[in-house]
Amino acid sequence: MRERDGAGGGLGSVPPLYDIAVIGGGPGGYVAAVYAARQGASVALVEKDTPGGTCLNRGCIPTKALIRTAEVYKLLQEAGRYGCRAEKVEVDFKRAMARKDRVVKGLVKGVETLLSKHGVTFIGGCGRLADRETVAVKTGEGEETLLKARHIIIATGSEPASLSIPGAFSEAVIDSTGALELDELPDTMVIIGGGVIGMEFAFIFARFGVKVTVIEYMDQILPSIDEDLAQEVFRSARMAGIQIFTKARVTAITQGEGGRASVVFEDAATGQAFPEITAEKVLMAVGRRPHLEGLGAVEIGIELEAGGRGIKVNDRMQTNIENI
């Protein structure tokens, strides 16, 4: 069934009807939308930000752009090894960040073109499940419109998690999104969490000349990775000048003079305190959690996993509400 003509989908009008409505325009959402449109379905994609989701806008792509800049900088520093001369090599962080933004914008345009080419209706705004067949979309101006769909795909992705400790939301504390929006390089940085995200940023900033310390609760960095591989990364990190504490638990973050922060942490097994570490920035990289706030999933009866860790689905990714 194709989109049904309506009067704009406002609260006082007949909402347009689609075969499928997708909430979330990241790799899960926009790929599903394009695939469905290729099969002949009428599809609406609701996204509060630009298409591409965390991966394209605040994750994989921008970090890889910065990694490439770090690689070039390191290569220039070692130019003499290759018989070349490069003097007074410096990182222009603002230009590096501007290049990162250009890369992201170019790929976002590519996704927008892909959606348009396949006839996917893109609706900018924050999507909420009003009922089992209705999505309410609130725009930046605060207006809310409705759309109907026979099937709804939830692809709202994830957001950075944080620790429930004193000072976790201090001014000097940033998450992965904040790290990609810095205006200038800090001189020192403590990264809480030695997983994939934490170690990726550790290498980026260390290559740029930042003094980086990583604090990891588990007994190795990259705890979800094979131990032999994690040890290789550990050795590379130490060679890059990254200081690493494992089996360590952060208990508090205190704000000091000049906006700097002090990280209080202890041995996770014995509770013995380590000396506090002061840094200009503290990057919270303790994982990610499902982005479900404001979605309306619980309100319409969708079952969640224990502890709200995600939406409960069957082997076909259906919730307990068959059409979602």
pLDDT in tens, 26-45: 999 999 999 999 999 999 99
Candidate from 100-114, 178-192, 246-260, 272-286 with smallest mean pLDDT: 246-260
Question: 160, 189, 163, 173: which is closest to 248 by C-alpha?
Answer: 163
Domain-embedded: residue 194: yes
107 and 252 fall within a common domain: no
Average pLDDT, the chain: 94
149 and 10 fall within a common domain: yes
Q: End-to-end CA distance of the chain, in Å? A: 17
Residue with the larger pLDDT of the pair 141 and 216: 216
282 and 223 fall within a common domain: yes
pTM of structure: 0.91
Helix (H, G, I), strand (E, B) or coil at 22: strand
Q: Confidence class of residue 9 from pLDDT cuts 50, 70 and 90? A: low
The contacts of residue 149 (CB under 8 Å, 6+ apart) are: 17, 18, 19, 20, 21, 44, 133, 134, 135
- Residue 10 has a pLDDT of 58
Question: 134, 139, 56, 143: which is closest to 101 by C-alpha?
Answer: 56
Domain-embedded: residue 2: yes
Neighbours of 181 (CB within 10 A): 12
140 and 33 fall within a common domain: yes
CATH number at residue 271: 3.50.50.60
Candidate from 12-21, 159-168, 199-208 with smallest mean pLDDT: 12-21
Structural domain boundaries enclosing 46: 1-157+291-324
Q: What is the pLDDT of residues 272-290, one digit of tens each?
A: 999 999 999 999 999 999 9
Whether residue 194 is predicted with pLDDT greater than 80 in this model: the reply is yes
303 and 267 fall within a common domain: no
Helix (H) or strand (E) holding 172: none
150 and 19 fall within a common domain: yes
Domain-embedded: residue 164: no
180 and 224 fall within a common domain: yes
